[in-house]
Amino acid sequence: MAKFDVLDMNGKKVSTVELSDAVFGITPNEKVMHAAVVNFLANQRQGTQSTKTRSEVSGGGKKPWRQKGTGHARQGSTRSPQWTHGGVALGPKPRDYSYRLNKKVRRLALLSALSSKAAEGEMVVIDELKASEYKTKAIVAMLAAIGADKKALLVTPAADAKLVKSAANIPGVRTATVGSINTYTVLNGGKFVISVEAAKKLEEVYAQ
Protein backbone atom coordinates (compact mmCIF):
# COMPACT_ATOMS: atom_id res chain seq x y z
CA MET A 1 0.00 0.00 0.00
CA ALA A 2 1.44 3.33 -1.08
CA LYS A 3 0.98 6.39 1.10
CA PHE A 4 -0.14 9.72 -0.35
CA ASP A 5 -0.41 13.12 1.29
CA VAL A 6 -3.96 14.41 1.44
CA LEU A 7 -4.37 18.14 0.84
CA ASP A 8 -7.32 20.40 1.43
CA MET A 9 -8.53 22.85 -1.22
CA ASN A 10 -6.18 25.47 0.23
CA GLY A 11 -3.15 23.31 -0.53
CA LYS A 12 -2.41 22.39 3.09
CA LYS A 13 -1.62 18.82 4.13
CA VAL A 14 -4.36 17.50 6.39
CA SER A 15 -3.60 13.76 6.53
CA THR A 16 -2.24 10.79 4.61
CA VAL A 17 -4.03 7.96 2.87
CA GLU A 18 -2.97 4.48 1.85
CA LEU A 19 -4.01 3.44 -1.65
CA SER A 20 -3.72 0.02 -3.22
CA ASP A 21 -0.62 -0.82 -5.23
CA ALA A 22 -2.87 -2.85 -7.52
CA VAL A 23 -4.36 0.42 -8.78
CA PHE A 24 -1.76 3.11 -8.18
CA GLY A 25 1.47 1.13 -7.90
CA ILE A 26 1.84 -1.32 -10.78
CA THR A 27 4.67 -1.15 -13.32
CA PRO A 28 3.20 0.87 -16.23
CA ASN A 29 2.90 -1.03 -19.50
CA GLU A 30 3.71 1.57 -22.17
CA LYS A 31 2.78 -0.68 -25.09
CA VAL A 32 -0.72 -1.27 -23.71
CA MET A 33 -1.19 2.42 -22.88
CA HIS A 34 -0.23 3.33 -26.45
CA ALA A 35 -2.71 0.81 -27.84
CA ALA A 36 -5.48 2.25 -25.65
CA VAL A 37 -4.74 5.84 -26.69
CA VAL A 38 -4.71 4.93 -30.40
CA ASN A 39 -7.99 3.06 -29.93
CA PHE A 40 -9.61 6.02 -28.16
CA LEU A 41 -8.55 8.49 -30.86
CA ALA A 42 -9.67 6.15 -33.66
CA ASN A 43 -13.09 5.81 -32.03
CA GLN A 44 -13.45 9.61 -31.99
CA ARG A 45 -13.07 9.88 -35.77
CA GLN A 46 -16.31 10.69 -37.56
CA GLY A 47 -15.25 9.12 -40.84
CA THR A 48 -17.52 11.43 -42.85
CA GLN A 49 -14.95 12.40 -45.51
CA SER A 50 -16.24 11.73 -49.01
CA THR A 51 -15.39 12.32 -52.68
CA LYS A 52 -17.38 11.71 -55.85
CA THR A 53 -16.37 9.09 -58.37
CA ARG A 54 -16.87 9.53 -62.13
CA SER A 55 -20.29 7.91 -61.83
CA GLU A 56 -21.44 10.40 -59.19
CA VAL A 57 -20.44 13.77 -60.68
CA SER A 58 -22.98 15.47 -62.91
CA GLY A 59 -22.60 15.57 -66.70
CA GLY A 60 -20.30 13.60 -68.94
CA GLY A 61 -22.99 11.60 -70.69
CA LYS A 62 -21.85 12.52 -74.18
CA LYS A 63 -18.68 11.14 -75.76
CA PRO A 64 -16.48 14.25 -76.26
CA TRP A 65 -15.31 13.24 -79.76
CA ARG A 66 -15.43 10.29 -82.08
CA GLN A 67 -13.29 7.26 -81.29
CA LYS A 68 -10.90 7.49 -84.25
CA GLY A 69 -9.45 9.99 -86.65
CA THR A 70 -9.10 13.09 -84.45
CA GLY A 71 -5.48 12.68 -83.37
CA HIS A 72 -6.58 12.84 -79.75
CA ALA A 73 -6.48 9.99 -77.28
CA ARG A 74 -9.79 8.14 -77.15
CA GLN A 75 -12.19 9.47 -74.52
CA GLY A 76 -15.56 8.14 -73.44
CA SER A 77 -16.56 10.84 -70.93
CA THR A 78 -15.55 14.32 -69.77
CA ARG A 79 -16.00 13.16 -66.17
CA SER A 80 -13.08 10.71 -66.12
CA PRO A 81 -10.54 11.47 -63.34
CA GLN A 82 -8.01 13.08 -65.72
CA TRP A 83 -10.52 15.74 -66.81
CA THR A 84 -11.22 19.05 -65.06
CA HIS A 85 -14.51 18.65 -63.19
CA GLY A 86 -14.07 14.88 -63.46
CA GLY A 87 -14.57 12.38 -60.68
CA VAL A 88 -11.92 11.42 -58.13
CA ALA A 89 -10.11 8.12 -58.53
CA LEU A 90 -9.61 6.12 -55.33
CA GLY A 91 -10.73 9.01 -53.10
CA PRO A 92 -11.93 8.62 -49.50
CA LYS A 93 -15.45 7.45 -48.76
CA PRO A 94 -17.39 7.42 -45.46
CA ARG A 95 -16.17 4.65 -43.19
CA ASP A 96 -16.19 3.55 -39.57
CA TYR A 97 -12.76 3.76 -37.93
CA SER A 98 -13.86 2.40 -34.54
CA TYR A 99 -12.77 -0.92 -33.10
CA ARG A 100 -12.75 -2.59 -29.69
CA LEU A 101 -9.90 -3.58 -27.43
CA ASN A 102 -9.96 -6.61 -25.18
CA LYS A 103 -11.43 -5.79 -21.75
CA LYS A 104 -8.29 -6.93 -19.93
CA VAL A 105 -6.15 -4.71 -22.16
CA ARG A 106 -8.35 -1.67 -21.43
CA ARG A 107 -8.17 -2.40 -17.70
CA LEU A 108 -4.38 -2.81 -17.70
CA ALA A 109 -3.96 0.38 -19.73
CA LEU A 110 -6.02 2.44 -17.25
CA LEU A 111 -4.18 1.00 -14.24
CA SER A 112 -0.87 1.72 -15.99
CA ALA A 113 -1.93 5.31 -16.61
CA LEU A 114 -2.98 5.81 -12.98
CA SER A 115 0.23 4.24 -11.70
CA SER A 116 2.40 6.35 -14.01
CA LYS A 117 0.74 9.53 -12.72
CA ALA A 118 1.37 8.43 -9.13
CA ALA A 119 4.98 7.43 -9.85
CA GLU A 120 5.78 10.71 -11.61
CA GLY A 121 4.34 12.86 -8.81
CA GLU A 122 1.56 14.06 -11.09
CA MET A 123 -1.21 12.84 -8.79
CA VAL A 124 -2.75 15.09 -6.14
CA VAL A 125 -5.16 13.68 -3.54
CA ILE A 126 -7.70 16.12 -2.12
CA ASP A 127 -9.73 15.45 1.04
CA GLU A 128 -12.89 16.81 -0.55
CA LEU A 129 -13.18 18.11 -4.10
CA LYS A 130 -16.33 20.19 -4.49
CA ALA A 131 -17.63 23.69 -5.17
CA SER A 132 -20.02 25.38 -2.75
CA GLU A 133 -21.15 27.86 -5.41
CA TYR A 134 -20.85 28.59 -9.11
CA LYS A 135 -17.57 30.49 -8.97
CA THR A 136 -14.62 30.00 -11.31
CA LYS A 137 -12.37 32.16 -9.14
CA ALA A 138 -12.58 29.62 -6.28
CA ILE A 139 -11.46 26.74 -8.53
CA VAL A 140 -8.62 28.84 -9.99
CA ALA A 141 -7.41 29.60 -6.46
CA MET A 142 -7.63 25.93 -5.47
CA LEU A 143 -5.63 24.79 -8.51
CA ALA A 144 -2.94 27.39 -7.82
CA ALA A 145 -2.72 26.29 -4.17
CA ILE A 146 -2.14 22.62 -5.04
CA GLY A 147 0.23 23.35 -7.95
CA ALA A 148 -2.12 22.27 -10.73
CA ASP A 149 -2.83 25.64 -12.33
CA LYS A 150 -1.49 24.82 -15.81
CA LYS A 151 -3.35 21.68 -16.83
CA ALA A 152 -5.42 19.39 -14.66
CA LEU A 153 -8.03 16.65 -14.61
CA LEU A 154 -10.39 16.89 -11.62
CA VAL A 155 -11.91 13.53 -10.69
CA THR A 156 -14.91 13.25 -8.37
CA PRO A 157 -16.92 10.20 -7.24
CA ALA A 158 -20.10 11.60 -8.82
CA ALA A 159 -21.02 14.52 -11.04
CA ASP A 160 -20.95 17.88 -9.25
CA ALA A 161 -22.76 20.49 -11.36
CA LYS A 162 -21.26 23.44 -9.48
CA LEU A 163 -17.71 22.11 -9.84
CA VAL A 164 -18.20 21.22 -13.51
CA LYS A 165 -19.56 24.65 -14.46
CA SER A 166 -17.05 26.52 -12.30
CA ALA A 167 -14.15 24.76 -14.04
CA ALA A 168 -15.66 24.69 -17.53
CA ASN A 169 -14.08 27.87 -18.84
CA ILE A 170 -10.62 27.44 -17.27
CA PRO A 171 -8.13 26.66 -20.09
CA GLY A 172 -6.56 23.21 -19.73
CA VAL A 173 -8.86 22.06 -16.91
CA ARG A 174 -11.31 19.20 -17.30
CA THR A 175 -13.63 17.44 -14.89
CA ALA A 176 -14.62 13.77 -14.84
CA THR A 177 -16.24 11.18 -12.63
CA VAL A 178 -14.69 7.88 -11.59
CA GLY A 179 -16.85 6.03 -14.12
CA SER A 180 -15.98 8.25 -17.07
CA ILE A 181 -12.18 8.39 -16.98
CA ASN A 182 -10.12 6.41 -19.47
CA THR A 183 -6.46 5.98 -20.35
CA TYR A 184 -6.42 8.92 -22.75
CA THR A 185 -8.08 11.41 -20.40
CA VAL A 186 -5.74 10.42 -17.56
CA LEU A 187 -2.55 10.66 -19.62
CA ASN A 188 -3.60 13.82 -21.45
CA GLY A 189 -5.10 15.56 -18.44
CA GLY A 190 -1.98 17.05 -16.85
CA LYS A 191 -2.11 16.92 -13.06
CA PHE A 192 -4.39 14.12 -11.88
CA VAL A 193 -6.40 15.68 -9.06
CA ILE A 194 -8.66 13.21 -7.27
CA SER A 195 -10.67 13.24 -4.07
CA VAL A 196 -10.13 10.58 -1.41
CA GLU A 197 -13.62 9.23 -1.94
CA ALA A 198 -13.07 8.93 -5.69
CA ALA A 199 -9.75 7.14 -5.15
CA LYS A 200 -11.47 4.65 -2.83
CA LYS A 201 -14.12 4.02 -5.47
CA LEU A 202 -11.41 3.25 -8.02
CA GLU A 203 -9.95 0.76 -5.55
CA GLU A 204 -13.32 -0.93 -5.11
CA VAL A 205 -13.57 -1.53 -8.85
CA TYR A 206 -9.98 -2.27 -9.88
CA ALA A 207 -8.14 -3.59 -6.79
CA GLN A 208 -9.61 -7.09 -7.11
pLDDT range class, residue 35, cuts 50, 70, 90: very high
Q: CB of 113 within 8 A of CB of 206?
A: no
For residues 13-28, average pLDDT: 92
> What superfamily would CATH give domain 2-45+100-206?
Ribosomal protein L4/L1 (3.40.1370.10)
pLDDT at 65: 95
pTM: 0.84
Nearest Cα to 35, choosing from 131, 119, 100?
A: 100
Q: Where are the domains of the chain?
A: 2-45+100-206, 47-96
Please give the C-alpha separations between residue 189 and each of 13, 56, 98, in angstroms, as whole numbers.
Answer: 23, 44, 23
Does 208 have pLDDT greater than 80?
A: no
Q: Give the type of residue at 180.
A: S
SS3 156: strand
**Per-residue pLDDT, 207:** 77
